[in-house]
Chain A
Amino acid sequence: MIRLEDIVVRFDKFEALHKINVHVKEGEFFTFLGPSGCGKTTTLRTITGFIQPAEGKVWMQGRDITNVPIEKRNIGIVFQSYALFPTMTVRKNIAYGLTVKHVKRDEIKQRVQQIAERVNLTDDQLDKAVSQLSGGQQQRVAIARALVTNPTIICMDEPLSNLDAKLRVNLRNELKRMQREFGITTIYVTHDQEEALTLSDRIAVFNNGYIEQIGTPNDVYNHSATDFVANFIGDINRLDEEIVNRMQLSPGKKHYIRLERIGVKKDDEGKEDKKDKKDKGEKKDKKAKPGKALKLHGIIESQEYYGLSVKYSIQAAGQTLKVVEKNDGINIHQPGEHVILRIDPEDVMSY
């Protein structure tokens, strides 16, 4: 469908993209994820034609489009700011691309009407000024404007980043629904890992002008390919020397474990003299056999209550481990409480 081949982009002497290779498949929802300045937007702009790569080629449906002008590429874009034309009504905004292409007036009217229905814009809203619509409605206009010309693919550059938290989640679902309905190949740029994980079929994680990993949300989360990916996506614990030794993991590497992968259980023995027990408790911890789960004694340091889940900071084996537990309403641990932790070597990611 769309393929980037060894793309290099330079701004004067600064090389922003180093030999980027991506292959987006037909109908796929593909996300470029990464921190700001990592090159994800630059890559998107290379696809849309706003940036000319210094090296490499852009292929679309088997055709080299590297030198095709922006307006001839047939790629729809939804901008971060939506870039809706403020001096035109909603209807004229959506019709703009068709007007430029000298489509007949009747057909324009009909196609605008159709696309408006599909993105749930009412007739009333079509005749309003863009500024009279809410953020969510504006986004639908931006999508309708991008889709009405029947583009081959649609590119979205952080389209949810200007919205407040609640609306962001709502629109995320709506975006996904629309993409599923239209079945259009979508390239989506975001720095929000939660957004990427919930929306995408596949994700490319960018860092410093390189792609660190391309994979499904489950791949990048549970089987992060690199140190960077593991740290960037989700929250994670780095395991310190003591645990590494006890689990007999290879000492030259960095080892991580996701918060929800650590098991927590109430330690019924540790009720009496807390200070005394704490010291003893740590001594009681033994080394685990290779391949077997490690059990650790710990004390709850603090608790963050989220409703759906509870996040604990637990002092164990000379370090603080963060652990997330589903909130079942019964097993909620208070600060100072003694607990037993369980770490399964299968859940440890090593780099």
Chain B
Amino acid sequence: MQAAMPRKQKYGFGKLWAVFGGVLFLYLFLGFMIFPCWDTLKSIFTAVEGDPFAVIRFFFAGNMPSFIWNSVKLAIVLVVTVNVVGISIVLLTEYFDIKGAKFLRLGYMTTLIYSGVALVTGYMFLYDQDGFVTKMLREYFPEMDKQWFSGFGAVVFTMTFACTSNHALFLRNAIRGIDYNTVEAARNLGSNPFGVLFKVVMPTLLPTIFSLTVMTFITGLCAMSAPTLLHYDSINPEIVRLAGAVGAGDDFSPEGRAALLSIILAMFTVALLLILNHYEKKGHYLSVSKTKAKLVKQKIQNPVANVLAHIYAYVLFLIYMTPVVMIILFSFQNWKNVDGKILDFSQMTFSNYVGVEDALIPKSGARNAGKFRTVKNAIIGLFSFDKTKDSIILSFILSAIAAALVCVIVVLAVNYIFKHKKAKSSKFVEAGMLFPWLLPTILICYSYRIYFKQNLWYVFGESLSSPERMRILLIAAYVVVKLPFTLRMIKASFYSIDDELEEAARNLGSGPVRSFLRIKLPIVLPSVLAVFALNFNALFSEYDMSATFANTNTQTLAMVVKGLTETGNNSSQFNQAGLRCAATVLIMVVSGIILYLVYGVGARDLAERLKRREKRRRFFARITGRAGKEEQAKKLA
């Protein structure tokens, strides 16, 4: 093909840019992916001088394998439970004719607006020893164990419902992509709706379900917030604990063991991704398909089955919805009601959001019965409390910077990849950007934390691990971790650019830069903004990474929320639980707005925007009374 392409323009510029881009790419790839991770891998064998296998021996002699087993056990159980619930919610809202499906879907989609620490603390608010639901249940079953919501069972329960977001997005897309004619054909040939489901519908969904299964398995292995908060000893919390113990001296080579755990996690991930990759070549995943023959919902004919399906759907809805509703309601309750888990609608308050108040608490001791003492400034709102306010600002700024950076990097890279489709360099660039997918998030952050302690020549001979620079490292980690997902999504959107468009622009006199900015970028911009928003959402409430850095300068929102898990009376601040609710509501609102902007506003094409603009214009014209004049003018004309 090369010989027949038009000669390159004679500006030496293009070449200069290519060299600059190549060097920058290598710098970032080697400096921020390969070197730190390689260092981690090496530390396993260099922890004890002269005995390269000391760490491994110690590792397997002690209780370390139990962490791995715990993680694997969690992953296996989650694969089953998440698939059952995930497939259920999609079938109930998309395939079967269930009354109120739209309403149900809203509940099932709530995991899209809050996840991680926010979600787990929300569940704890309901189910832990003083939880709303636990208290209610104990009224009926007094002998029930107060601490039932802890350990393996609690983690499985929470993650089963927390990890269905991917099902809700991608399996829904897949089921909507089914050609309805195939369903009709099967019905016509004598299948009942369930027969069609298992023989026609499910087989077409299998590739997606398989991909989701692998993703769920990895999620289970790499679980962080749920095990940490619900006290379950799995790999990631242990890595963070070990990382914190580095240098404390009372543990045997914590860095070596943390590294080994990370590497084992990485090996699992690599193996799973290889399977996934092999399998994905047959089917597809993350495809945004538009259906032509729309699926018509199937009515369940058997009345008993129909009733059971409805009950099942609404029970799931309750499980999804209760934490959300309760968190919102309790965020407007005063600290006493929050602590006592009493809903009192006559005493709604904003004290968890803004303002500083004093608290009145009963004096202790029998003498003081009925007397109260005032605790100054014991109730502070989310936006008035320095700690939470700062963390909100920090999370906001860091996530915005990282999400923007990763989008810019990926758009430029994908543009390069598409321009040089057959070149080896573009394959290398793509592989380099997908590389972080092989590495568990924690491994990257852990490696950064350890490796950048040294003064490195390529970061101007400085140490990036000092407290003031930790935020730079956190941003770098955010960017690296989000690269693969961003690349896949944006690459998919570049496929929608017709080659002829660029040719047309060239033909009309545009140079490559102008064609990119004026023609190609506007086409992919909605997708780019969508990815930006999704990344921002994920990073805004992110806990795993900042927890691994565990630095006073990286106290992100989720870390602060996690710190607020104790109930009020134990500290000088009384409304901690209320603050937690308010913070979670904030996360939900921010995520909700962003999702609306992406899928509601961002998805509109030019035609729709023009129509809306016209509507607005008419609306304003009518208000200002200009419309009458214009019409008159038209009539006269």
Contacts and interface: CB of A to CB of B under 8 A. Distances in A.
Interface of A: 9-12, 16, 48-54, 67, 69-71, 75-77, 79-81, 83, 85-89, 96-97, 100-101, 127-132, 145, 149
A88 B518 CA distance: 9
B503 A11 contact: no
Given A10-B3, A12-B3, A97-B509, A83 B606 contact: no
Contact of B4 (A11, A88, A127, A130): A11
Given A12-B1, A71-B509, A100-B510, A89 B606 contact: yes
A10 B503 contact: no
A12 to B, nearest CB: 6
Pairs of residues from A and B, 8 with the lowest C-beta to C-beta distance, nearest first: A87-B522, A97-B508, A129-B607, A129-B606, A83-B500, A83-B504, A100-B509, A71-B509
A70 B607 contact: no
B501 interface: yes
A140 to B, nearest CB: 16
Contact of B605 (A11, A53, A97, A131): A131
Contact of A83 (B5, B6, B501): B501
Contacts of A132: 607, 610
B2 interface: yes
Given A86-B523, A128-B607, A131-B605, A51 B4 contact: yes
Contacts of B522: 85, 87-88
B605 A86 contact: yes
Interface in B505-547: 505-511, 514, 518-519, 522-523, 525
Given A87-B523, A96-B508, A131 B6 contact: no
Contacts of A11: 1, 3-4
B606 A131 contact: yes
B7 interface: yes
Nearest to B511: A71
A85 B501 contact: yes
Contact of A50 (B503, B510, B605, B606): B503
Nearest to A17: B4
Interface string B340-368: 00000000000000000000000000000
Given A52-B6, A83-B498, A149 B508 contact: yes
18 contacts: A48-B507, A50-B503, A50-B506, A69-B6, A71-B507, A71-B510, A76-B507, A77-B504, A77-B507, A79-B500, A85-B505, A87-B519, A87-B523, A89-B606, A101-B509, A130-B606, A131-B605, A145-B504
A129 B4 CA distance: 36
A70 B507 contact: yes
Contacts, number: 102
Contact of A87 (B498, B503, B606): B606
Contacts of B301: none
A264 B347 CA distance: 100
Nearest to B7: A52
B5 A52 contact: yes
B9 interface: yes
Interface of B: 1-7, 9, 498, 500-501, 503-511, 514, 518-519, 522-523, 525, 605-607, 609-610
A88 B500 CA distance: 16
Nearest to B5: A52
A148 to B, nearest CB: 9
B605 A129 contact: yes
B607 A81 contact: no
A70 B506 CA distance: 7
Nearest to B2: A12
A189 B525 CA distance: 34
Nearest to B526: A87
Contacts of B510: 71, 96, 100
B517 to A, nearest CB: 11
Nearest to A130: B606
* Residue among B500, B504, B507 with the highest chain A CB neighbour number at 10 A: B507
A8 B506 CA distance: 23
A131 B505 CA distance: 18
Contacts of A87: 519, 522-523, 525, 606
B6 A50 contact: yes
B607 A49 contact: no
B607 A79 contact: no
Nearest to B514: A100
Contacts of A86: 523, 605-606
B323 to A, nearest CB: 41
A79 B503 contact: yes
Nearest to B497: A86
A68 B9 CA distance: 10
B4 A10 contact: yes
A101 B320 CA distance: 58
A81 B3 contact: no
Given A54-B3, A81-B500, A145 B508 contact: yes
* Residue among A10, A77, A83 with the highest chain B CB neighbour number at 10 A: A83
* Residue among A67, A81, A96 with the highest chain B CB neighbour number at 10 A: A96
